[in-house]
Amino acid sequence: MIICYRCDQYRWAHLGVYDIKYKGTELKKRCNAVDDGTCDRKKGNKAFQRWEYWGYEDLYLIHYTGNHKVFTPFKHRGAKNSRRPYIRSAPYVKEKVQGSNALSTPKAVHADIINSDAGGLRHAVNTPRDIKQVRNFKDAIGRKYRMSHDALYNMHELHSQLIQEHNGVSKSFVSHMLSIPRIVVHLIPHLLLHSLETLLKVSSSPVTLHYGTVFNVDDFYLSTVSFRNHLFEKEPIIPCGFLLHSRRLQQDHRNFIQVLTKELPVLITKRLNIVTDREFKFSDLFPCGTHLYCWNHIRRDLQWHLKSRCNCTADEICYFVNLFCKLQLLEREDEFDKQWSITRESAQFKKKPKVLAYFDNHIIPPFKVHASI
């Protein structure tokens, strides 16, 4: 109970521990000054102080001096959006979390501690603030006692910890993992995939899927599948699948897409717009889908080719890219053809025949066939 009463909901700056002697008895004395949120958090405000004494048998004395009204509750110093006053949990709350079942989810541990508490005035102190605090405690324990800090080992741990229930079936967020001869990991948030399934069933217009390699995570690539939810006003793009891979092999991407179509068979029967860069060939995996190319990737390919293969200057690159952007904005194909026939005869293209050949063979034809946004 000593630890319980030390958690008094004041915020303290610890000023040190001293050895004192009282009537021949050696004691320990700790000095604290209140942290009122406006002073130096390391020095505190000495207008209100707490003194702690211990060292004689099992006794523990806490003595307050000064005016406690100088303290006003304030939010956690690390909080950015919340204005809720910070409530400190008793130290033994962490011990409760440590003593819980290691395989239980933070949500289950939080519920068990809340339900087992007797309640009363100190209920908020004797129980975790929220599920996030329980998760942080469990993560700290895991970091301390885990056998390895290797990324692949941690991925195996995530497989057993991130379990999601869907339609009464428990499925792991880490649904597939291959480590030899290359790293391939399938990460599937099943609840978000269920949202896509619902959208496909209720939507009368084609749903747009996006797929591409968007991040480099240390030595790995991360490719994502996302969908545009046009049931919302701003049509947010929501990720519903992740592929972590060490090499950019077409077969790994195809296998991942096939796993998603197996999880969601409706992808094969519904009309879709599949937007990718020109690296991926998925047309045969979506019989009812239309394969479209991402404009941004086409522009990046054009910029790279102009700089690396055609030896264009910065001004020339800017000219050709802007020219292509104007062509992209034309709404009708006949307007596009007419404008391109005029543009390709310009002096800039005559100076750069390699650029014209690249436009004719690698930019204009695929854009007309697979135009997208």
- Predicted confidence (pLDDT) per residue in 271-323, tens digit: 888 888 888 878 788 888 888 888 888 888 899 999 988 888 999 999 999 99
Determine how many CB atoms are found less than 10 A away from the CB of residue 144: 8
Separation between Cα atoms, residue 348 and residue 315, nearest integer Å: 11
Question: 56-70 pLDDT, tens per residue?
Answer: 888 888 999 999 998
Separation between Cα atoms, residue 56 and residue 232, nearest integer Å: 67
Q: Is residue 310 exposed (0-12), middle (13-18) or buried (19+ Cβ within 10 Å)?
A: middle
Phi and psi, residue 74, nearest 5°: -140, 165
Query: What global pTM score does this model have?
Result: 0.58
Average pLDDT across each block of 10 residues of the chain; the chain has 373 residues. List them in order. Answer: 65 90 88 88 90 88 91 80 79 86 86 88 84 88 73 75 67 85 90 90 89 82 92 89 91 92 90 86 84 86 90 91 89 89 90 91 85 57
Which residues, other chains included, contact 29 with Cβ-Cβ below 8 Å and sequence gap of 6+?
17, 18, 19, 20, 51, 52, 53
pLDDT value of position 238: 93
Separation between Cα atoms, residue 356 and residue 320, nearest integer Å: 10
Through-space distance between the first and last CA atoms of the chain, rounded to whole angstroms = 64
Which residues, other chains included, contact 170 with Cβ-Cβ below 8 Å and sequence gap of 6+?
163, 164
> Which residue type is seen at 8?
D
pLDDT value of position 73: 83
Q: SS3 breakdown of the chain: % helix, strand, coil, rounded to 5?
A: 40, 25, 35
> Which residue type is seen at 39?
C
* Phi-psi domain of 66 (left: phi exceeds 0; alpha: psi -120 through 50; beta: other): left
Separation between Cα atoms, residue 226 and residue 235, nearest integer Å: 12
Separation between Cα atoms, residue 13 and residue 7, nearest integer Å: 13
β-strand partners of 209: 227, 274
Separation between Cα atoms, residue 105 and residue 101, nearest integer Å: 9
pLDDT value of position 168: 62
pLDDT value of position 294: 85
Tokens representing residue 41 in the block: 């958090």
What is the largest distance, in Å, between two alpha-carbon atoms of the chain? 104
